[in-house]
Amino acid sequence: MKKFDQYYRAIDYLESLPQFFGKVEDPSINMRRMRYFLDLLGKPDKDLKIIHITGTAGKGSVARMVHDSIVNSGRRSGLFTSPYSTCQIEEIQVDDLYIDPVRFASMVESIKKPIEEMRGSEFGTPSIFEVIFAIALLYFKEEMVDWVVLEVGLGGKFDATNIFQATKVSVITNIGLDHTDILGRTLEDIAKDKAGIIKKDSSFFTTETNPALQKYFQSVCENVGAVFNILQTAELSFEERNRLLAQKITEHIHVNNKSFEKAVAHFQLPCRFEIINSNRTVILDGAHNSIKMQSVIYKFQEFSNRKISLVIAIANGKDVESILRHILPKVNKVYATTFDVHGRHSVSLKDIKRCCKLINIDVQIDLIQNPTLAFKKAEQEASNEDVILVTGSFFLVEIIRKIFYPEVFILSNRRSR
């Protein structure tokens, strides 16, 4: 569409940059590269009031509820989350709208020179994620927001979003085994990485229920000079924990409860148990680890009397059996599929089938390479009363979501729906 040609040219340029650096011998280079880049851009991170959120699951939901509560209270808030569901502008938001795609494209153009200057530095060219994050900070600064709510990209200690020396609020939702190739093989290793966001003079909040990890977070707070806040949530569902955590954060920053309740009442995140009613009920959820899948199952209680068709693909490196073991007993038929998006690949159909049969040898399973065709077949075979659940990876879910909400819709409306 001609209206968005400038935006698409900007995306083409961004996609020429490194996608993701992965595991490196000295991960601190990520921080030093981001700091060097922001210095070239005039330190747009300076003086921003930051609420920094990490965790294995729920960080996007908590970030959204906190952001919306701030906006409902009459203050300005900038929100940075990832990954996007359909197009890049969804990662950057001020108040109720995503960044304007034309303005986004202009900002990309304006920072090309510093990006090219980085090529010749000891750090090399920044990644797409680092550039988008820098644009977000520039945008938040220009818009003079009162608060910035940041969702960590990956981990915490060495994530690009962790360049702030002082944050007002630091948050860890919970700790689970995910991204173990980068963050470590044990819960303790992962907790240590995520605790890197806890800063001096910040107030720290968590709903982690593991006593050993709670004790570790408390010790980190004591060592760095942060205020430790543990919420007792062992009897609550993951959804309830997220809501309580967001509520306590908003109370801490003096947002009234009416503003919070309004945020909860209207809460919806793209691809996080997103219900789309067309000819039949379709639910999109990017759950890609065990904790996230357990949350999906909890929410599915309201559909317990309906047949469920599962369309699933899982990224390489994930614990396929653990993810499937939670959801498989709830479904009537599986449509296993694949994806190849942004350089990320899914596990093979053969591997998904093998794990499905290990868990339930009688499960019905179709193997369909093309994700759109897999979804279309699930639609054809489901009755109007059935539910189709698309899950296992954000990369899969974003492909299917475009069927209902194409990119041009989001670019035009600066909203996801």
Instruction: Compute CA distances 288 → 177, 185, 242, 293, 337, whole Å.
Output: 11, 17, 18, 7, 14
Which residue blocks in 184-252 are alpha helix, DSSP H? 187-194, 211-224, 238-252
Close Cβ partners of 301 (under 8 Å, ≥ 6 residues apart): none
Residue 390 has pLDDT above 60, yes or no: yes
Quickly state the pLDDT bin for 75 (edges 50, 70, 90).
very high
Instruction: Compute CA distances 26 → 18, 122, 165, 276, 293, whole Å.
Output: 18, 14, 20, 44, 32
Instruction: Output the CATH code of domain 274-404.
Output: 3.90.190.20
Phi and psi at residue 130, in whole multiples of 5°?
A: -65, -40
Mean of the per-residue pLDDT values for the chain?
93
3-state class (DSSP) for residue 381: helix
CA distance 186 to 306: 37
Residue 127 has pLDDT above 60, yes or no: yes
Instruction: Note the pLDDT of residue 309.
Output: 96
The DSSP output letter for 306 is S
CA distance 142 to 42: 12
Of 339, 30, 294, residue with least CA distance to 182: 30
Residue 1 has pLDDT above 60, yes or no: no
Instruction: Note the pLDDT of residue 182.
Output: 66
3-state class (DSSP) for residue 172: strand
CA distance 148 to 137: 9
Range name among 59-73, 111-125, 266-280, 370-384 with the lowest pLDDT average: 266-280
Give the tens place of pLDDT for each residue, 183-237. 777 999 999 999 999 999 999 999 999 999 999 999 999 999 999 999 989 889 8
Task: Report the DSSP beta bridge partners of residue 391.
Answer: 312
Residue 24 has pLDDT above 90, yes or no: no
3-state class (DSSP) for residue 215: helix
Helix axes 371-381, 394-404, angle to 10 degrees: 60
Asked whether the beta carbons of 58 and 175 are under 8 A apart, the reply is no
Instruction: Note the pLDDT of residue 178.
Output: 67
- The residue whose two tokens read 């179709």 is 366
CATH 3.40.1190.10 placement within the chain: 2-267
CATH topology of domain 2-267: UDP-N-acetylmuramoyl-L-alanine:D-glutamate ligase (3.40.1190)
CA distance 73 to 249: 14
CA distance 294 to 326: 6
Instruction: Compute CA distances 188 → 25, 204, 213, 232, 240, whole Å.
Output: 20, 18, 7, 20, 24
- The residue whose two tokens read 């193997």 is 367
User: 21 vs 417, which has greater pLDDT?
Assistant: 417
Of 365, 291, 359, residue with least CA distance to 321: 359
* Average of per-residue pLDDT across 374-382: 96
Instruction: Note the pLDDT of residue 389.
Output: 96
Please tell me whether the overall predicted TM-score, pTM, comes out greater than 0.85 for this model: yes
Instruction: Compute CA distances 86 → 216, 394, 395, whole Å.
Output: 38, 10, 10
